[in-house]
Structure 1
Amino acid sequence: MGLLWGLIIGGLAGWIAGNLTRGGGFGLLGNIIVGLVGGFLGGVLFRLLGLAATGMIGSLVMSVIGAVLLIFIVGKIKGRR
């Protein structure tokens, strides 16, 4: 059940981050990947800042922040070429 919730939160976080940064989502699989990687990145960032996210809402917020940061970093790397 935890894997299913992780995929749902990842997909939702990726969709929200896509809408916040470029005006659209990345498709179902793309949203899930961006959300899951964003969740990992958000978790690392939160730990570095001494913050904690608990529950589904906390996980979603952390994943969205990480996904927005991921999209920003990828956009900067792609823009340099």
Structure 2
Amino acid sequence: MITVLLFAHLQEQFGTDKLTINETELTVAALKEKLEKEYGWNQGQRVMIAINEEYAMDDDVIKAGDAVALIPPVSGG
């Protein structure tokens, strides 16, 4: 299983702060597609993705037991 942590407005969009994905391995790009199909997530949103607290690219592989964070842009001032 892969744990997906959600922050800021993504918690509202998904209705939770954490998702559990029943996969043993998939790429970041495949995770994005899965979230779009199963949860209606709009991939056009600019978010950073981290695997085990390290920023990841679309071709990076997520493995069972990993924690993935979807981090939306932060603004302030």
Alignment TM-score > 0.5, same fold: no
User: TM-score normalised to the size of structure 2?
Assistant: 0.23
Higher relative contact order (CA 8 A, sep 6+): 2
Structure with greater proportional strand content: 2
TM-score (normalizing by structure 1): 0.23
